Structure 1
Amino acid sequence: MLPKSSKYFFILIMLFVAPFCKAQKISRYDPDTIKTIVLDSVININSHKLNVQDFIDAVTTDTSFYKAFQSMRLYSYSAENSIYIYDKRDRVTGKIYRKMNYSRAGGKPTVQHITKSDSGQVYKKNGKYQLYTVEMFDYLFSNTYNKPLAAPSGKDGKAGGKNASYKSKLKTLIFRPGTKVSGIPFISGKTEIFSPELKQFYYYQFARGTYLDSIMVYRFKVIRKPSTAPGDVMINEMTTIFDTRTFQIMGRFIDMSFSNMFVSFNVRMNIEMNNFNGELLPVKVSYQGNWDVPLHKEERASVLITHRDYRREN
């Protein structure tokens, strides 16, 4: 049986939930690779005085992507969240929708709900969320606004409640991709896609393009080779886009799947950033995923989060 901590982690990977119409089917959000980038051409990175290791080092050592989420709590901004829960036939069974204005006037964080609606199978009888996916969504986004988001360590957390270690694993996966996520039987090492053991299973692709109509970027794509056997890897694709002027990471897409007797999941997530007065901040998160382990209810969800109108408050 999969250890309890690992069960929670895979539910964490699932990340989100939401509109309810019984037996209704909707098209899931498809977080395709950074849709807001227009590619110009495939590039020879050597002609740009770069090499593969430059991109790998930038991905594995970057802190600006994580810092962008930390910086949210210093700003006022508008947000819109649409989260859907599905049954095994992909019919919507639960919905959360929020349209909010966050403010830090006078240094005190406040949230004004312009629109707020929940319906379907969202909460337990004790008032807690049905899915750990939703709990983690609140942790990464709503909680981030009110207080700092602890740095991803890659280690199991013991303090901060029973879910601390699961949150730590999730942060490592999102903010430190390509590094080992410890404490996950059969899978921990499969996140180290740049290791000597796993590099053989991937292709690297490079392109140049324009992001958000004006920002010139490099796109570094790590793709699983078609010849790779099932179970050899967990990450099918990881795409990162870099500002060509600063090498700052502007966006990241991750496609993960795995299946064995202990766990089965299929997850796609896209996070995009933009600069506001020189500070990098999140503007869009889209996600969809299925997750299933023995003796636990299967979780299926999709989400679309947008942030806009950032304003620095004193």
Structure 2
Amino acid sequence: MTFKGLGALFLLLISSVASAQQIPRYNPDTIKTIVLDSVININSHKLNVQDFIDAVTTDTSFYKAFQSMRLYSYSAENSIYIYDKKDRVSGKIYRKMNYSRAGGKPNIQYLAKSDSGQVYKKNGKYQLYTVEMFDYLFSNTYNKPLAVPGNSSKGNAGKNASYKSKLKTLIFRPGTKVSGIPFISGKTEIFSPELKQFYYYQFARGTYLDSIPVYRFKVIRKPSTAPGDVMINEMTTIFDTRTFQIMGRFIDMSFSNMFVSFNVRMNIEMNNFNGELLPVKVSYQGNWDVPLHKEERASVLITHSNYQREN
């Protein structure tokens, strides 16, 4: 694979971060939404480590929550900031809108819409693949159903479809192997016998969104781990103690070698609306750098509210 081909792959796949310097805006971290009561002994709760691992790797409700948005009207507010090499804002995209359906077709009412700076190419497409990926993964979800996340793509959905499918797997099925990513495919499988040695497991109990009792299961990289041994530095998952349903997920990923360098942090939070799990916040910050492509730096904040089931 050429440098150009490798660069394109990571542009489409990771939408990630390149330098160790982190952009403080939004500070995506699930723990910010939780009031922790105490560290817990999971055995006293008749649970073990494998229960949490199985729940993370086999869960489908987290992904289904995004598909279920198509059944609701709701309000959304999206802010995307683009940065230059000195972390100065060079572009901004802002949208405030109401989603609904009319005659079975999606309808978007823009309440506020503004763009500034370096946002689009001359052909009208987004400057950054980071923005393109978020538009595909989250905004596009309301317009049409997404395929079940997996490691391959079928049909003629476009040359980028398989890369987008891999990205969905990385976000919605973390801990499983994402095949076809040079140099890092095996590093996503953090619960494998080869990688488990590099991580600590931490458990705590707390309250999410002021009222929901939760377990916090944190998989965190050991300080002694050598650079390049792992890609996922931390993955925190929040479970409703009553249903074991996943309410939130935080992922911190980084990797660097002669071909690619990235460091991305993403947080996704859910809430129940009349028994249906639906996304309420997605936050991201990061940069990435690959050969023969312009470095990307961006932060994203997406919020959803006022869900109403449509007939």
What TM-score do you get using the length of structure 2 for normalisation? 0.95
Output the CA distance in 1 between the equivalents of 2:226 and 2:67.
Answer: 38
Deviation of 1:137 after TM superposition, in Å, equals 1.2
Percent identical pairs in the alignment equals 89
Deviation of 1:106 after TM superposition, in Å, equals 4.0
| SS, match of residue 30 in structure 2 | coil
| SS, match of residue 47 in structure 2 | coil
What TM-score do you get using the length of structure 1 for normalisation? 0.94
Equivalent position of 2:20 in the other structure = none
Equivalent position of 1:126 in the other structure = 123
Gaps (5+ residues) in structure 1? Answer: 17-25
Output the CA distance in 1 between the equivalents of 2:64 and 2:256.
Answer: 33
Output the CA distance in 1 between the equivalents of 2:4 and 2:200.
Answer: 33
1:49 aligns with 2:50: no
Deviation of 1:255 after TM superposition, in Å, equals 0.1
Q: Alignment RMSD, CA only?
A: 1.6
Tell me which of 275, 290, 304 is aligned to 2:287: 290
Deviation of 1:200 after TM superposition, in Å, equals 0.1
Equivalent position of 1:9 in the other structure = 10
Gaps (5+ residues) in structure 2? Answer: 18-22
Q: Deviations over 1:184-227 (max 9, x none)?
A: 11100000000000000000000000000000000000000000
User: Counterparts of 1:90-239 in structure 2 under 5 Å?
Assistant: 90-155=87-152, 159-239=156-236
In the alignment, residue 118 of structure 1 is paired with which amino acid? Answer: D
Equivalent position of 2:263 in the other structure = 266
Q: Deviations over 1:118-137 (max 9, x none)?
A: 11111111111111111111
Distance 1:152 1:5, change over 3 A: farther
Equivalent position of 1:275 in the other structure = 272
Output the CA distance in 2 between the equivalents of 1:168 and 1:246.
Answer: 28
Q: Deviations over 1:281-310 (max 9, x none)?
A: 000000001100011111100000000000
User: Counterparts of 1:28-107 in structure 2 under 5 Å?
Assistant: 28-107=25-104
Deviates more, 1:132-141 or 1:250-259: 132-141
Output the CA distance in 1 between the equivalents of 2:236 and 2:166.
Answer: 20
In the alignment, residue 127 of structure 1 is paired with which amino acid? Answer: G
Deviation of 1:13 after TM superposition, in Å, equals 2.2
Matched pairs, number: 305
